[in-house]
Amino acid sequence: MNEKDFRWEIFLQPYEMAVQSFIIKLEAIKKQHILKGLKNPIEIVTGRVKSPESILDKAKRLGISLEEIPDKIYDIAGVRITCKYMQDVYEVAEMIKNRKDLEVVEVRDYIKNPKASGYKSLHIIAKYNVETIDGQIPINMEFQIRTHAMHLWASIEHSLKYKFLRNIPEDIKARLFAASEAATALDLEMSKIKQLVESLGGEGIRRQPYPAEQLEIYPNNMKKW
């Protein structure tokens, strides 16, 4: 396979279809919870497909050939679910793992086992069959599930990696790690507040009305990470 002649638009299209499909599916689950007056664990659903440049950069770092990319790079298609509370992260993870249209390959729990940098998130790698005019195409895709605090930290760290070409200065790394610990403390405190509200009979907060625009789905307006 020649990199120069490789048809990226054809290769990436099934991944785009998968991401768009799961944005719709997860937004529908969110809407069902809201309409039925149930506790909704899903706050925000976004998705992205890696660019050819990003895929090739990762392949080079991992020593992966062009032919091996579909089998050995798992996050070409990515769906992110952001939640309010840490408990919601695991509730959404169970929803993903129990789906009949996915085959879960691996669960990476960076919340219970954070990366050395302080990164926290729960990743689920799964296989998904995309229906195309050429039949079913099995692809790997990754679901990232995290709280708002985890997402804020990860977004800043991600931008700094690019700014410093993956060589973040040690003093900034140390401050990022401290910020990660602060984010975890915030998540834990918010979870305690949630538990206290529920113990005081605050179930009514689950049934508050939502503006109609919050129930709209915009599958063609895919957010980028």
Asked whether residue 193 is domain-assigned, the answer is: yes
Structure tokens at 36: 């039925």
What percent of the chain is predicted at pLDDT more than 70?
88
Indicate the burial class of 61 (C-beta count within 10 angstroms; 0-12, 13-18, 19 or more).
Answer: exposed
Asked whether residue 113 is domain-assigned, the answer is: yes
**How far is the CA of 120 from the CAs of 37, 112, 194, in angstroms?**
30, 8, 21
Going by pLDDT thresholds of 50, 70 and 90, the confidence category of residue 69 is very high
112-116, 178-182, 188-192, 207-211 — which is least confidently predicted?
207-211
Asked whether residue 71 is domain-assigned, the answer is: yes
User: 142 an active-site residue?
Assistant: yes
Q: Phi, psi at residue 30, to the nearest 5°?
A: -60, -45
Enclosing H/E stretch for 49:
strand 44-49
Asked whether residue 2 is domain-assigned, the answer is: no
- Residue from 27, 94, 142, 216 carrying the catalytic annotation: 142
Going by C-alpha positions, the residue among 200, 214, 198, 202 that lies closest to residue 34 is 214
Give 147's DSSP letter: E
Asked whether residue 221 is domain-assigned, the answer is: no
Asked whether residue 220 is domain-assigned, the answer is: no
Going by C-alpha positions, the residue among 122, 118, 111 that lies closest to residue 145 is 122
187 has pLDDT over 80? yes
CATH number at residue 152: 3.30.460.10
Q: Which domain covers residue 170, as residue numbers?
A: 8-215
What is the total count of domains within the chain?
1
223 has pLDDT over 80? no
The whole-model pTM stands at 0.87
Asked whether residue 160 is domain-assigned, the answer is: yes
Q: Phi, psi at residue 219, to the nearest 5°?
A: -65, -25
Asked whether residue 1 is domain-assigned, the answer is: no
